[in-house]
Amino acid sequence: MIAFIAKRLAAGLILLVAVSVGTFFLAHAAISDPTVSLLGTTATPAQREALALKLGLDRPLVEQFWNWARHAIVGDFGVSWRNFQPVGKLIAIKLPVTLSVVTFATIITALVGTIFGMVAGLHPNSAFDRAIKAISVVLFALPGFWVSLVLVVWFAIQLKWFPAVGYVTPNQSLGGWLRSITLPAVSLALGAIVVVAEQLRNEVIAVNKQDFVRTLRSRGLSSWQVNVHILRNASPAALTVLAVMFVSLLSGAIVVEAIFSLPGIGQLTNSSSQIGDIPVLLGITVVSVVFVVIVNFLLDIALGWINPKVRVK
């Protein structure tokens, strides 16, 4: 078990280093002179040079990277080039918003995806199964922000059930918090639900054909109990999809956050990239890769629990 954890940690670290190096040099290649975007076009060359000196941009790129990495290892991601606030603090303020929305979206996806996938898989080619299939083809393809626009128009503006924009912290009002993250979470979840449901459906059909299911029925177990056995054996693929979705939404929900005016990681990414605030972008990248590593680790543990055969010895 310890060897397993060590191995996963090592793989995670390699990934983290590779992605950080990649993002750092890509960012510096793409944003060749950050002082232009930071100071605007009206700044004099002298002003720009002073800023470049202050930010250490006059140093060789490798040295700049080393300076960043040296501090990043101990959790210091430097300061934002825009307002000189610590990057860690900026992210810590925004992360809860995004985490709320994405976690809520994941819970909705898991619940609804499981129900849809089970019902469709237990009754393949039924009217329900075909309806789900027809809807999922389209829902999967439509971008989350497109769906959010529809939801905003319908539920926030026409029906006025939910606020159209803005975020309420759970400290201010728990109900208000839930209402403020419902529409964004649903618009992120819709596309994921159909993927999870589709995966689960196919696995349920496959598991249902296996001999042990018939034997379980022959023991007199109720169909509900047999379904629990089927679900457990069918869930690994869907669980993997769920994990992938969770991570990709953490940094990918930028447009949805913009539509609902949510002050989350997506908004920070968007504003930082527009002015070329490289330290903030690097910090967000590192945080999201850390989440990838953590979620994949938890996923491995969950898969081992579900299927004892792959459990680490």
Partner 1 sequence: MSAAALSAETESRETRRASIFRRFVRTPSGLVSLAIVAAIVLVAVLAPWLAPYDPNFVDLANTKAPPSAAHLLGGDTSGRDILSRLIWGARTTLVGALVTIVTALAVGVPAGVASGYFGGRLDRGSSWVSDALQAVPGMIILLVVASGTRSNFGLIMATVGVLLAPGYFRISRSTALTIRNEPFIDAAWVSGLTHPRIIVRHVLPGVYAPIIIQTALAAGIAMGIQAGLQFLGIGVANVPSWGAMMAEGFRYMLASPLLLLWPSLVLGVTIAALAVMGSTLADLVRVRTVAPRRTVAQANAATASAAALEYSSAVRIDNLKVSYGAETGDIEVVHGVSLEVAPGEVLGIVGESGSGKSQTVFSILDLLPAGGACTFDGLWIGGKPIHGMTRRERARLLGTQIGYIPQEPMSNLDPSYTIGHQLVEPLRSVHRKSRTEARSIARAMLARVGIADVDRVMRAYPHQISGGMAQRVLIAGAITGRPSLLIADEPTTALDVTVQAEVLELLRELQSEFGMALVLVTHNFGVVADICDRVVVMRNGAIVEVNDVRSVFAAPQQGYTRELIAASLDNSETRRELDAIHAAASREA
Of residues 223-262, those binding partner 1 (CB under 8 A)? 223, 225, 229, 232-233, 244, 247-248, 250-252, 254-255, 258-259
Q: In this structure, what is the dihedral angle of CA atoms 16, 20, 23, 25, given to the nearest 10 degrees?
A: -140
Is residue 308 involved in binding partner 1 (CB under 8 A)? yes
CB of 174 to partner 1, least distance (A): 29
Is residue 37 involved in binding partner 1 (CB under 8 A)? yes
Per-residue x/- track, 284-303, partner 1 (CB under 8 A): xx--xx--x-----------
Is residue 172 involved in binding partner 1 (CB under 8 A)? no
Q: Which is nearer to partner 1, 83 or 309 (CB)?
A: 309
Is residue 39 involved in binding partner 1 (CB under 8 A)? no
Of 3, 171, 175, 309, the residue at the interface with partner 1 (CB under 8 A) is 309
What's the CA gap between 167 and 304, in Å, rounded? 38
Is residue 210 involved in binding partner 1 (CB under 8 A)? yes
Q: Which residue has the tokens 């609804």?
A: 112
What's the CA gap between 294 and 179, in Å, rounded? 29
Of 9, 107, 157, 294, the residue at the interface with partner 1 (CB under 8 A) is 157
Q: Which is nearer to partner 1, 53 or 153 (CB)?
A: 153
Q: Which is nearer to partner 1, 174 or 310 (CB)?
A: 310
Q: Convert 19-52 to b/e letters by CB count within 10 Å (16 or more is b).
A: bbeebbeebbeebeebbebbeeeeeeeeebeebb
Is residue 199 involved in binding partner 1 (CB under 8 A)? no
C-alpha count within 13 angstroms, C-beta hemisphere, residue 111: 7
Q: Are 285 and 69 in contact (CB under 8 A)?
A: no
CB of 171 to partner 1, least distance (A): 28
Q: Are 259 and 149 in contact (CB under 8 A)?
A: yes
What's the CA gap between 184 and 105, in Å, rounded? 8
Of 30, 92, 111, 115, the residue at the interface with partner 1 (CB under 8 A) is 30
CB of 175 to partner 1, least distance (A): 25
CB of 233 to partner 1, least distance (A): 6
CB of 137 to partner 1, least distance (A): 4
Residues 6+ apart with CB under 8 A from 162: 155, 156, 179, 180, 182, 183
Structure tokens at 277: 């605030």
Q: Which is nearer to partner 1, 171 or 211 (CB)?
A: 211
Q: What are phi and psi of 31, to 5 degrees?
A: -100, 85
Q: How many CB atoms lie within 10 A of CB 101?
A: 30
Q: Which is nearer to partner 1, 15 or 69 (CB)?
A: 15
